[in-house]
Amino acid sequence: MRLWPFLALVVLCPRIAFAQSPTFAGNAQHQAQFATPAQHLNHLRWSASLGGSYWHFGSPVITTSNTVIFASFSAGRAATVNAIEGATGRTKYTLPTDWAMCPCSSNEGITFGPVLTVGPAGNRLYYPGAGGTVYYIDNLDSDSPGTPVQTCFYMPLADYSTNAAAYNSTVYLDTPITADANGTIFFGFRVIGNAPAPLNTTNSGYARIAPNGTATYVLAGNAAGDPSVNSDSSNCAPGLSQDGTTLYVAVKSGGGPPAYLLGLDATTLATKYKVRLKDPISGGDIYPLDRDTPSPTIGPDGDVYFGGGRTLHFSADLATQKLPGIFGYDYTQGIVPTNIVNGYRGPSSYLLVSKYNDYSTSFYRAAILDPNAAQPSLGINFMREVLTVTGPFTNKEWCINTPAVNPATASVLLPSEDGHLYRWNLLSNSLSEAFTLNAGYGEPYVPTVVAPDGAVYTINGNKLYAVDSLTNLSVSAYSSVPDERTAWVGQSISFTAVVTNPAGTGPVPSGTMNFLDGSGSFATNIALVNGTAQTAPTNLVAGVHFITAQYSGDGLYPTGMITFVQRVHARSTTMILTSTVPVIGSNSVTFSAALVSPQGGRPLGMVTFWDGNSFLGQTSGGIFQPASLSTNYPSAASHRIWAEYASSATFTYCTGAVVGVTAPITQMQMMPDGSFQLGFTNASGAPFSVLGSTDLSIFSSNWPVLGPAIEVTPGQFQFTDPQAGAHAAANYYRVRSP
């Protein structure tokens, strides 16, 4: 067994938990969640060449028995299916294919996407073939699988074989294959030129093949009800609704717009829903390029997300357009349970993890987004940023088209162009592990998956990497100030490394630990005490630090190491949050967050406003004015307004709250019912408690709290003591904030 230094968590979306990785982005809804706890990232198990170069490689698929299946390519782009024993890297078998890349793809476009699904006798593997055909094998975990069987969606295979060359040069399977829970598969096909009869068309489309071989298809123009549409969306895997009844696909004109997202009947392929893809800012048409790899993501609530420059967000019937995401190019959203995001407060039952690039400034991030809370930007509202993580190296972006969300370890696994595979821990909001794959490779976007044994598979350059932890040693390390947003120069920070025996029995590891900052050691030969070593560096400069804990080994245990990222900001930040009431007696109030740094300079960036745990809004502050939010109180209540600054590359995260000021009570009145009412004016949004006593000899700090004062309108507070008339002695009151 393995010992994991992670908090055990309950997954909010149990339908999408699985022990294998059967398709692109993890499942037919493309939610990118993997249930098995991902191992530590400190050991390269094996790697395999994929051939090619600057390509979008398809996703590996992994069986429950840990057979890893992926395609590799020769110089002539011929594809070979490889089946590898995941635990050892041993080749079990290879399958040559006759599949050819569609000429519509650029040098970046590789659409070879196999799928695992149920067959008559266990798992079945479907993989692409020539002319829009599909092959399948059974007994795929054996070193000698079943003989490949070819099937054709538009005519009997025997008839296809009589004119195969003509079909192979005009019909191309150009999307990853998606399967439903019953073994039915779906995929897109592209027609180049004019396909012979029985297709007899220049139109592309989508196909469905049932487990018994029964097939049907629909042409893109017919499905869209638009004669200008003639193309499927190359590289985009069809997505299935949670109940398997609706298939979501994208279609477009061959040269670009118009483009539509369609909801098809998953049995008949008849069109149920459609929406034209429009940019939420300009209102102009948008569409995925043939080299792009976005696929529809279907959320646990049925909402649909699809990228085409922006991430568009629709209801399940595509009739309602909801908050979009600011970035959506070449990316498929991942679904994140809210309970693995530290401190999340908001209206949503799940969140999204998104690539979040700004190519105009080369500012590359990943973000946790709230699909139901707004953040103003570029003149409209987008999904709000809950957390963001910046790539550790300048001008190196997260090279992902789908991440690996791992609820069991509260983390998201992301590869970068800088040559590392990272674990973004969402509880600590830190890059808690970093594993070096290679020296770095500027490339298109790749998938990451977690295997049934917890190994992590990702692609960088033209290699598939299998990364895991040591089998006979567990090494972990962490910072006392791990959060990406909070550490600053001069702050006290300590690093702790823990070495344990994964078997859970036997002697506690001894030996020593070295701590490195990049390639330079700053603490050496620190003796382990009960398997733990600690150090506190005093000279960390502003910037990104790759901290490595390097274990020496002892007579029983081997050497080992782990690396994490420590970000240090140049300056700390504080916030002063104030409120103003433009019209006394109205429900309108404005909150302003002034950010300052004791070290100088003016912090800029995103500020989120809260009323207790209720989200109010998110805005950014500029050089000449603080971040501000104007809102209306919906009803009289006790409010607690506070705000948080998200941090920047230079300034740390901070929070602030509206606090009350010393002010006289303006109303003191006995009511006809015997109650006593007092009123006062103060800072809108500040919480106030009213204390009471009949004995002035008692210290006021010991007076009992009678209850909160209610803010009846912005800045106007009131408290009623219903028991005042029942007291024989005089009553004394005191107002306190908070």
d(CA 597, CA 603): 7
Same domain assignment for residues 616 and 508 = no
Q: Which of 60-64, 83-87, 387-391, 625-629 has the lowest mean pLDDT?
A: 625-629
Task: Please report which confidence band the pLDDT of residue 622 belongs to, taking 50, 70 and 90 as the band edges.
Answer: low
- Does 715 score more than 80 pLDDT? yes
pLDDT of residue 120: 84
Contact 253, 193 (CB under 8 A): no
pLDDT of residue 19: 53
Final residue before a domain boundary, out of 600, 625, 657: 657
From first CA to last CA, the distance across the chain in angstroms is 50
Q: Is residue 347 part of a domain?
A: yes
d(CA 289, CA 486): 39
Residue 621's alpha-carbon distances to 356, 487, 575, 648, in angstroms, are 20, 21, 12, 12
* Bridge pairing between strands 512-517 and 520-527: antiparallel
Q: Which of 263, 246, 264, 257 is nearest to 320 (CA)?
A: 263
Same domain assignment for residues 530 and 610 = no
Token output for 517 = 């900052």
d(CA 62, CA 90): 14
The residues, ordered by sequence, that sit 6+ positions from 442 with a Cβ below 8 Å of its Cβ are 417
> Which residue in this structure is represented by tokens 């549409």?
229
Number of structural domains, the chain? 4
* Residues 435-489: tens digit of each pLDDT: 999 998 887 788 999 999 999 999 998 899 999 998 888 999 999 999 999 999 9
Final residue before a domain boundary, out of 469, 490, 523: 469
Same domain assignment for residues 499 and 517 = yes
The residues, ordered by sequence, that sit 6+ positions from 421 with a Cβ below 8 Å of its Cβ are 41, 413, 414, 415, 434, 435, 437, 448, 456, 458, 460, 465, 467
Contact 299, 242 (CB under 8 A): no
Contact 496, 564 (CB under 8 A): no
Radius of gyration of the chain (CA): 30
How does the average pLDDT of the chain come out, rounded?
Answer: 91
d(CA 174, CA 112): 7
Q: Is residue 4 part of a domain?
A: no
SS3 assignment, position 416: strand
- Which H or E run includes 167? helix 164-168
d(CA 718, CA 29): 52
Task: Provide the CATH number for the domain around residue 724.
Answer: 2.60.40
Q: What are φ and ψ of residue 53, in 5° steps?
A: -150, -100
Same domain assignment for residues 201 and 318 = yes
Task: Provide the CATH number for the domain around residue 613.
Answer: 2.60.40.10
Q: Is residue 343 part of a domain?
A: yes
Residue 28's alpha-carbon distances to 57, 214, 266, 592, in angstroms, are 19, 20, 12, 45
Same domain assignment for residues 525 and 436 = no
* Residues 21-74: tens digit of each pLDDT: 899 999 999 999 999 999 999 999 999 999 877 678 889 999 999 999 999 998
Supply the DSSP string of 298-339, one letter for each residue.
E-TTS-EEEESSSEEEE-TTS-SB-PPBS--TT---EEEEGG
- Does 372 score more than 70 pLDDT? yes
Same domain assignment for residues 168 and 100 = yes
Same domain assignment for residues 589 and 440 = no
Q: Is residue 168 part of a domain?
A: yes
Q: Which of 95-109, 201-215, 413-427, 589-603 has the lowest mean pLDDT?
A: 95-109
Task: Please report which confidence band the pLDDT of residue 623 belongs to, taking 50, 70 and 90 as the band edges.
Answer: low
d(CA 391, CA 422): 10
Q: Is residue 287 part of a domain?
A: yes
Q: Is residue 569 part of a domain?
A: no
Same domain assignment for residues 389 and 490 = no
Q: Which of 27, 58, 18 is nearest to 447 (CA)?
A: 58
Q: Is residue 245 part of a domain?
A: yes
pLDDT of residue 728: 62
Q: Is residue 482 part of a domain?
A: yes
Token output for 132 = 């829009």
- Does 104 score more than 90 pLDDT? no
* Residues 625-658: tens digit of each pLDDT: 788 999 998 789 999 999 999 999 999 999 999 9
Instruction: Give me the mean pLDDT over the 116-130 stretch.
Output: 92
Same domain assignment for residues 488 and 590 = no
Contact 107, 54 (CB under 8 A): yes
Final residue before a domain boundary, out of 451, 469, 487: 469
Instruction: Give me the mean pLDDT over the 668-689 stretch.
Output: 91
Same domain assignment for residues 683 and 718 = yes
Same domain assignment for residues 145 and 272 = yes
| Domain range for 509 | 476-557
Task: Give me the residues paired with residue 387 across strands.
Answer: 368
Q: How big is the CA angle at 555 (ends 551 and 559), to the nearest 5 degrees?
A: 25
**CA dihedral of residues 6, 11, 15, 17 (deg, nearest 10):** 0
Same domain assignment for residues 211 and 85 = yes
Residue 67's alpha-carbon distances to 135, 140, 180, 219, 665, in angstroms, are 18, 8, 21, 35, 74
